[in-house]
Structure 1
């Protein structure tokens, strides 16, 4: 796929590349976005916006980094921009659906099936400040190396390591309480 990105001349090539990116990275980007906004519907909307932004910006991809890294950088920046936006600060969104909906029943089944310890861990992670939550998510859930996390978060390797250490300390305190 990386070779395919070297020369994107025709609209058809761009569309094929975006289709491939959505197939390969769509779920990962959705999970990343959810880790920022904590709302399924909103995460889906923002993920769609991210791929539209990528389609429009594909001509700016220089090939200096992996396509996946470029895409993740756009996603992270988009999430941070959204979190700083007027809309996010002033409009309250909800993920609640009518009590009798099929998806509500599925959610209840999933909660029953999941282990209580995993739920507690996820809840504790989601309460962390974003700078700690993102490094935990990228390292443990996406299995990214420290160097790539540093590139994605626009920080240094040691900053990522420090944030990981502090995040673990905070998680330990919250889970012991």
Structure 2
């Protein structure tokens, strides 16, 4: 839990977007890890195995009736960082980060998850492939498409902002 707790919480939150649910699911992940420890076959890294369990728990929750009745309540605050610059620069940097976070959050899950796993969890294409049970080429394609969607969204905002 000490080594992967924060990463698991961030990963689950990227799916469910509710810190209370995230905490519950994170606990479930580590209970499952404890209960299923003897089934870990070491064909993958321990981190990959734990994150796979977290993804499955999050996806199971998203399929549940309870989730369909929920609304997104909190932004992805954990992804936002500040620097020790002037207050003006800090505000501008935070606004840029919030804009990027909002673009990532607005992506469909299949694109959002590869962005978060690769850039925020520092997982390799092979690890993501194993976790999501999709080919490495699909991971690369989804990552490329996700970046393109973010770029187009940013360009559209800039064009609109210049005229609006």
TM range (shorter): 0.7 to 0.9
Show the counterpart of 2:111. Answer: 132
Distance across 1 between alignment mates of 2:109 and 2:54: 14
User: Could you say if the C-alpha distance between residues 94 and 115 of structure 1 is closer, same or farther in structure 2, counting changes exceeding 3 Å?
Assistant: closer
Q: Quick check: 1:28 aligned with 2:7?
A: yes
Which of 134-143 and 57-66 deviates more? 57-66
Q: Quick check: 1:171 aligned with 2:155?
A: no
Return the offset for 1:115.
Answer: 1.5
Q: Is the 8 A contact 2:17 2:72 kept in 1?
A: no
What's the RMSD between the two structures over aligned residues? 1.9
1:72-129 CA distances to partner (integer Å, 9 max, x unpaired)?
Answer: 111111111110111212355856xxxxxxxxxxxxxx89696211100001100101
Q: TM-score, normalised by structure 2?
A: 0.79
Q: Is the 8 A contact 2:128 2:139 kept in 1?
A: yes
Distance across 1 between alignment mates of 2:19 and 2:91: 19
User: When the two structures are aligned, how many residues end up with a matched partner?
Assistant: 142
User: Could you say if the C-alpha distance between residues 94 and 118 of structure 1 is closer, same or farther in structure 2, counting changes exceeding 3 Å?
Assistant: closer
Show the counterpart of 1:77. Answer: 56
Q: TM-score, normalised by structure 1?
A: 0.74
Matches within 5 A, 1:1-177: 22-91=1-70, 94=73, 115-177=94-156
Distance across 1 between alignment mates of 2:154 and 2:92: 21
